[in-house]
Structure 1
Amino acid sequence: MLRIYTLKGFLFMILVSALFACEHSQKEEDKIDLSLNSLFSDHMVLQQNDDVAFWGKYTPAQELSIVASWGEKTSVSTDGMGQWTARLKTPRAGGPFTVTITAKDSTITLKDILIGEVWLASGQSNMEMPLKGFLPNDPIDDSEEEIANANFPQIRYIDVPRTIAPLPEKEFEGQWKPLNPETASDFSATAYFFARKLHQELDVPVGIITSNWGGTPVESWMSKEKIISLGEFEKELEAIKPENIKVFEDWYSKFPTKKIPVSEEEWQNLNLDDAAYANSDFDDSKWNTTALPVVVENLKVINKDGVYWFRKKVMIEDQTSNYTFKVTGGIDDSDITYVNGEKIGSTFGHNTPRNYAIRKGLLKEGENTLAVRVIDTGGGGGFIGDVTLTKNDTDTAVDILEGWSYQQIAGIQVSDFLLLHKNQGALENPPKGLESFKLDAHTPSTLYNGMIKPLIPYSVKGAIWYQGESNVGRHDQYLKLFPGMIQDWRERWNGDFSFYFVQIAPFEYGNGLSPALRDAQRKSLKTPKTGMAVTMDIGVSNNIHPGNKQDVGDRLARLALVNDYGKDIVASGPLYKSQTISGNKIALAFEYAESGLVAQNPNPSGFEIAGEDRIFHPAVAKIEGDKVEVSSPSVNAPKYVRYGWKDYIAGSLFNTEGLPASSFTTEE
């Protein structure tokens, strides 16, 4: 049949065809492949008896179905940005199960899923420290045996890679791993011993999400909104506002990068095209100057972590003797040291004293050059303790502390070195405001954005935390920030989950400020549903990373077993509760001491007592059942007592279960 269209009808058909083509084209442009957050992978562990979240991306305005092999199913539609979130009810612990997510044109099936108890493990280096240790200087006790016996297929973990982000992220790259001798060596030692005890005591699968970065302060792990609400770090947060980020990213992009080594051999052979800085004839006149010893974070630098050169002109009168260059506390984290361009020694390890012999004849009469290449990978870095150049035969010291030239030649940007010295022009002309723009792992909120936010709202039973060393010296602020972080995480997860933390272990910081940080942690126990694992008995005076992580994990697990799983065991070491003054004595009462107190020696040591003047004197302490009686002939009218109030001290007071008492002061 012949059809005759009017002009109006013809134009209408053209319009409909155009709209159809446009709609089809728009759909092709909007198409997003089906994907899930990295938390959802084969071998994952889901929290039992919960309404757990799944989330990911797919084409906008499309429907997905989610089916779990334990009998639950649901459906969900993607939003206008292609985001979707669904929830499934989980049964009691068991498995393995599968979960299948089906879209119109694709399907993802997750296999070997276990249902059990899920915990988040976070903090700085003592939580990050793997079961193999930080070799060669910081091993885990009995690590080889522990790794060989770590065959627990129902314990799984997923690690969040180090990520700095100025704005909140949604994704990270990771994969759940069943625990066996091949995977155990890189698993957080503290988290492993915690998970192992839970698994053995509860006989259920255990999943651990690890999110750690050594040498980082608590404020890095908090959201920007929470930090602002506490009135802290306003200047730092203002500096990393979005309009500034682009300026500094453009500047950083002017410098070449080099991947950070992953093995000791690679570190020892690291070549950053900086060999000329060891030579005597190198011109360092434009460098800044400092005295030694020094912490690099206190210098005028671009990034806090990275590679530094220190150079010093030294006058020698007697070149016929042997000399020795020493740094008594070590160089954090590693160094290569030269005299007149010749290497005299190198050490890979932060807490090892440097003791480098200088052969006879290498030093010449007159001017000589000492050059030290320092690599700081995180936390405080630089020269620790006395720095000396000594003539061996007479033990005469050459004055070398003043007048060192220094230059940072590389910064650390997550997994890369930023080679600052490869573009001297850009280095000498940084953007205005660089002194306040610090986009690194120390910057407030950056690790929350990159390493915590992508985990929310994955269902967890609770969190374990080991951090505080990087906030030593800021205890009053920590007492505000740390409880604030706990509240922040709970609000973001929309759940009042348990939070257990490790009190930092005694270590010779050298400033006497760490006891106050430990006490800020103790006072943080006022936050509901928290607990503290005390480590007063396992500290090492010259190593901030104690090798005994077995007791740390055990003590964290005790807190969970008592408070979350109803086990009838003692959860903690003694915690100061109250004092009673009677004449020239003070009697101290403790929580977690119902069955009595004990000391390694006949009487506990480390107690001090003071009157109204707050001048503390060594005290005699005697255990009387579940109390400690303290006195001193130097204090007739006592008012205050403190215990363990030193950077490093070997804990001497325990309950009868063998758990150590926390340090404390009765001062308010």
Structure 2
Amino acid sequence: MLRPLVATLALACLTHTARADVTLPALIADNMVLQQKSNVALWGWAEAGEAVTVTVSWQKTPLKTTADAQGGWMVHVPTGKAGGPYTLTVQGKNQLTINNVLLGEVWLCSGQSNMAFAVSKKPNGSWHTGVDNEAEVVPKANYPAIRLFTVRNTVADTPQHDTKGSWAVCTPQTVGEFSAVAYFFAQQIHEKTKLPIGLISSTWGGTPAESWTRKEVLQQDPDLRPILHRYEQALSTFSQNEAAYKKQLAEYQKERAANPRTTRVAPVAPMDATSYQSPYKLYNGMIAPLIPYTLKGVIWYQGENNAGRAYQYRRLFPALISSWRQAWMQPEMPFYFVQIAPHRSQNAEIREAQLLTMQTVPRTGMAVITDAGDSLDIHPRNKQVVGQRLALWALAKDYGAKKTVYSGPIYQSMKVEDGNKVRLSFEHTEGGLVKQNGLLREFTVAGPDSVFRPAQARIDGNTVVVWHDEVKQPLAVRFAWRAVPFPNFYNGAGLPASPFRTDAWKLKTQGLL
């Protein structure tokens, strides 16, 4: 089997066979950022056998290569420390010049609508309401060393070789279109390190993780194969499903018109072969074209559309991370993600799946935002705290900020004491454990009957002691274990604790594939 990179380039070459002019992928363009202190890939297409010379202004020696039989060519260019602007020239039978190139840090920013959510409100954009501090943020967004490339939404049956888009320089005039989470992430890192930051935004609202996962990954894992089977079944029954959907949609719209605050969830349109929710097709259309553009790492905000199968996400999400690292041939590529915010449509099980991913997959990190959700809006507008908490992970793990506290308390162990009290220990207790606004909330405790009761809780040093007078034999404790919790438990750095449970009792989504 061809390695993912080779396969992608082979497809690209076939598409560009017999072109006389040298051409470049959309990513290699004016205003781009290339990963500093690396050996970056530059590639394109030309006529088969055509000599191609690549010259970069940060080094004296040009690189020469020859287009292969299908017209594809690629060189690897050493990059020094961050700086610029530079130029890049590609010479074949024609000449292309790329201007205003910076060497810096390149981050892929992907996921669903909360990553797509833009800094500024979009006209008639329904959920595109802009960040809550838009009026303050936009006029100050003079960061010429922050650049954004937005990948065009594309559904594809097979891996694509290229995408559409261009690099935008961050100014008050352009920042409104930026992914808000990505912008605040980049702003924080840039201000702390002074490094140029390149952001590649590849997002689509309402998408499950399997849409972003390579088909072969789903095929080869018995626990993930049902995703493909379900999709194939949906295609075979599309006509019936569409009729049922239209009926359900009419009922939903009627109810919503009568009661705008209804808690009823809108029906989901059935999938056909062109659906953006189809397995693997966004990987083909929106991730494959980015390979092998050298990255520093990935930030990710997704999971809402997998909450109904949260237990499966324990396997699916790590598989996605692993496959992306393999595709880029960067096995230790940092991958930082956001734990799903409180919302009535979500559940504690998806947050646990994300927590377990952070705890079991190396070089990952998780931003907890239980204090930045909106129970009625799945798109909370405070995106600054999200981007900044993701940036804490990168600053601490990738940019030498060793004293930076990057995580709130993470449950470590429990011990039963004094008959009915449970002592909980935590990692990431820097600055001590603290509570905000009253008594500790959201702790529950259960005994042999498996019934969880609201617990009293108090901080004791770097531990928490919980109990309930009617639970004489405590066996399990849960924290913030519901769709919309209101916890007030932090460490001294002001970072919230992740929801958790101490038990391994069967969950509602367990067994759902």
TM-score grouping bracket, smaller chain normalisation: 0.7 to 0.9
Which residue number in structure 2 is paired with residue 301 of structure 1? 242
> SS state of the match for residue 287, structure 2?
helix
Cα-to-partner distance string for 1:427-454 (whole Å, 9 max, x where unaligned): xxxxxxxx88543111110110000000
Asked if the contact 2:231/2:279 (under 8 Å) is kept, the reply is: no
User: Where does 1:418-457 land on structure 2 (aligned, <5 Å)?
Assistant: 437-457=272-292
In proportion to residue count, which structure has more strand? 1
Within the alignment, does 1:181 sit opposite 2:16 as a pair? no
Within the alignment, does 1:92 sit opposite 2:81 as a pair? yes
Match for residue 622 of structure 1 among 443, 449, 458: 458
Cα-to-partner distance string for 1:189-231 (whole Å, 9 max, x where unaligned): 0000000001000001100000000010001000001111222
Note the aligned Cα RMSD (angstroms). 2.7
Which residue number in structure 2 is paired with residue 141 of structure 1? 132
User: Where does 1:288-327 land on structure 2 (aligned, <5 Å)?
Assistant: 300-301=241-242, 310=250, 326-327=258-259
Match for residue 41 of structure 2 among 53, 57, 76: 53
Q: Hey, what's the Cα distance between the residues in 2 that align with 1:466 and 1:615?
A: 33
AA of the residue aligned to 2:89:
T
Match for residue 354 of structure 2 among 521, 524, 531: 521
Query: Structure 2 unaligned runs (5+)?
Result: 1-16, 505-513
Cα-to-partner distance string for 1:521-542 (whole Å, 9 max, x where unaligned): 0011110000000001111111
Q: Hey, what's the Cα distance between the residues in 1 that align with 2:228 and 2:374?
A: 36
Cα-to-partner distance string for 1:313-361 (whole Å, 9 max, x where unaligned): x9xxxxxxxxx962243599xxxxxxxxxxxxxxxxxxxxxxxxxxxxx
Which residue number in structure 1 is paired with residue 425 of structure 2? 589
User: Where does 1:455-494 land on structure 2 (aligned, <5 Å)?
Assistant: 455-494=290-329
Within the alignment, does 1:662 sit opposite 2:495 as a pair? no
**Cα distance, 1:31–1:192 mapped onto 2, change above 3 Å:** closer
Asked if the contact 2:430/2:492 (under 8 Å) is kept, the reply is: no
> SS state of the match for residue 36, structure 1?
coil
TM-score, normalization by structure 1: 0.68
Cα-to-partner distance string for 1:573-617 (whole Å, 9 max, x where unaligned): 111111111121111111111321111134210000012332111
Q: How many residues align?
A: 476
Which residue number in structure 2 is paired with residue 156 of structure 1? 147
Once the two structures are TM-superposed, the CA of residue 108 in structure 1 deviates from its matched residue by 0.6
Q: Hey, what's the Cα distance between the residues in 1 that align with 2:407 and 2:35?
A: 26
Within the alignment, does 1:642 sit opposite 2:478 as a pair? yes
Once the two structures are TM-superposed, the CA of residue 49 in structure 1 deviates from its matched residue by 0.1
Once the two structures are TM-superposed, the CA of residue 238 in structure 1 deviates from its matched residue by 6.6
Which residue number in structure 1 is paired with residue 382 of structure 2? 548
Q: Hey, what's the Cα distance between the residues in 1 that align with 2:338 and 2:361?
A: 15
Which residue number in structure 1 is paired with residue 101 of structure 2? 113
Asked if the contact 2:106/2:297 (under 8 Å) is kept, the reply is: yes
Which residue number in structure 1 is paired with residue 54 of structure 2? 66
Q: Hey, what's the Cα distance between the residues in 1 that align with 2:230 and 2:366?
A: 35
Once the two structures are TM-superposed, the CA of residue 508 in structure 1 deviates from its matched residue by 1.4
AA of the residue aligned to 2:140:
N
Cα-to-partner distance string for 1:286-321 (whole Å, 9 max, x where unaligned): xx9xxxxxxxxxx821898x9997389x9xxxxxxx
AA of the residue aligned to 1:468:
G
Asked if the contact 2:347/2:482 (under 8 Å) is kept, the reply is: yes
Which residue number in structure 2 is paired with residue 575 of structure 1? 410
> SS state of the match for residue 28, structure 2?
coil
Cα-to-partner distance string for 1:434-483 (whole Å, 9 max, x where unaligned): x8854311111011000000001111110000000011121110000001
Within the alignment, does 1:208 sit opposite 2:199 as a pair? yes
Q: Hey, what's the Cα distance between the residues in 2 that align with 1:201 and 1:453?
A: 32
AA of the residue aligned to 1:66:
V
Asked if the contact 1:190/1:553 (under 8 Å) is kept, the reply is: yes
Worse overlay, 151-160 or 30-39: 30-39
User: Where does 1:174-253 land on structure 2 (aligned, <5 Å)?
Assistant: 174-232=165-223, 234=225, 237=228
Task: Among all aligned residue pairs of Structure 1 and Structure 2, give the percentage whose two residues are the same amino acid.
Answer: 39
Match for residue 171 of structure 1 among 144, 149, 162: 162
Q: Hey, what's the Cα distance between the residues in 2 that align with 1:127 and 1:207?
A: 16
Cα-to-partner distance string for 1:75-103 (whole Å, 9 max, x where unaligned): 11111111111110001000000011111
Asked if the contact 1:55/1:85 (under 8 Å) is kept, the reply is: yes
Which residue number in structure 1 is paired with residue 4 of structure 2? none
User: Where does 1:608-619 land on structure 2 (aligned, <5 Å)?
Assistant: 608-619=444-455
Asked if the contact 1:122/1:464 (under 8 Å) is kept, the reply is: yes
Once the two structures are TM-superposed, the CA of residue 239 in structure 1 deviates from its matched residue by 9.0
Match for residue 537 of structure 1 among 353, 366, 371: 371
**Cα distance, 1:437–1:545 mapped onto 2, change above 3 Å:** closer
Worse overlay, 569-578 or 529-538: 569-578
Asked if the contact 1:475/1:520 (under 8 Å) is kept, the reply is: yes
Cα-to-partner distance string for 1:169-190 (whole Å, 9 max, x where unaligned): 1110110010001111110000
Asked if the contact 1:539/1:650 (under 8 Å) is kept, the reply is: no
Once the two structures are TM-superposed, the CA of residue 236 in structure 1 deviates from its matched residue by 6.0
Q: Hey, what's the Cα distance between the residues in 2 that align with 1:665 and 1:382?
A: 31
Q: Hey, what's the Cα distance between the residues in 1 that align with 2:274 and 2:451?
A: 43
Asked if the contact 2:420/2:471 (under 8 Å) is kept, the reply is: yes
Q: Hey, what's the Cα distance between the residues in 2 that align with 1:325 and 1:175?
A: 41
**Cα distance, 1:307–1:31 mapped onto 2, change above 3 Å:** farther
Which residue number in structure 2 is paired with residue 561 of structure 1? 395
AA of the residue aligned to 1:564:
D
Asked if the contact 1:63/1:76 (under 8 Å) is kept, the reply is: yes
Once the two structures are TM-superposed, the CA of residue 149 in structure 1 deviates from its matched residue by 1.3
**Cα distance, 1:660–1:236 mapped onto 2, change above 3 Å:** closer
Q: Hey, what's the Cα distance between the residues in 1 that align with 2:83 and 2:411?
A: 41
In proportion to residue count, which structure has more helix? 2
Q: Hey, what's the Cα distance between the residues in 2 that align with 1:530 and 1:325?
A: 43
